[in-house]
Amino acid sequence: MLLALWILFIIYSVFLAPGDGFTSDTVISLIRGTFSDIEPLVVFIFNLLGIYPLLFAVILSNRNSGGSPVWPFILLSFVLGAFALLPYFFLFSSKPKTSTKNNPLLEFICKILQSKTILFIIVIFFIANLFVLTRGFSLDGFMIAFYSSKLVNIMSVDLLLLLWLSYYSFKHLYGNKHAWLSFIPVVGPIMLLWKKKTH
């Protein structure tokens, strides 16, 4: 199913997603970081897509000590989002856990990611991102951007897939009965990770 979902996402992004290509004013402004003329909800989603790769690094490092090839997928997800993470899940998520004891650098990174401090940092990023919405946002404005910009459209679908992948992680990799909380952006997965660390 994950492989099919990945292929469908690629087909949708390349052939079916509505809107202009990746040279529109919205795209250029997002890349340059000039957000003042962009619908705040679009900026909010854009920033969330920068937070989720770090969140998945925490989620997957808690399941796996880091010896599997998860790190290239995590790093690519900062640019490609679910495009990069979906292949990891259908290729490696069902394989046995591995260890980083022979790799001091990965072992050190995993210890940092498995600390509560990282969860605090992610929460701070999320709260800071919420301030973007205080400029005032418009659902109508977002929908115009959704249908007129290919990037905004793909970003939005990407976020939905990342929400689902976080649910999939807690439900199928950890067997957490409260996995549905992960559909709450960032806050839900943080709650589940915090609970896991306190038990």
Check: CB of residue 26 under 8 Å from CB of residue 41. Answer: no
Round to whole Å and give the CA distance between 127 and 130: 5
pLDDT digits (tens, 9 = 90+) for 133-161: 998 889 999 999 899 889 999 999 999 99
Nearest to 94 by CA among 114, 76, 68, 66: 68
| Pairwise CA distance, residues 171 & 165, whole Å | 10
Q: CA-CA distance, 92 to 152, in Å (whole number)?
A: 30
pLDDT, tens digit (0-9, with 9 covering 90-100), for 66-119: 445 788 899 999 999 999 999 998 887 665 455 555 567 777 888 888 888 999
pTM of the model: 0.88
**Per-residue pLDDT tens over the stretch 2-41:** 899 999 999 999 999 998 776 667 767 777 777 878 899 9
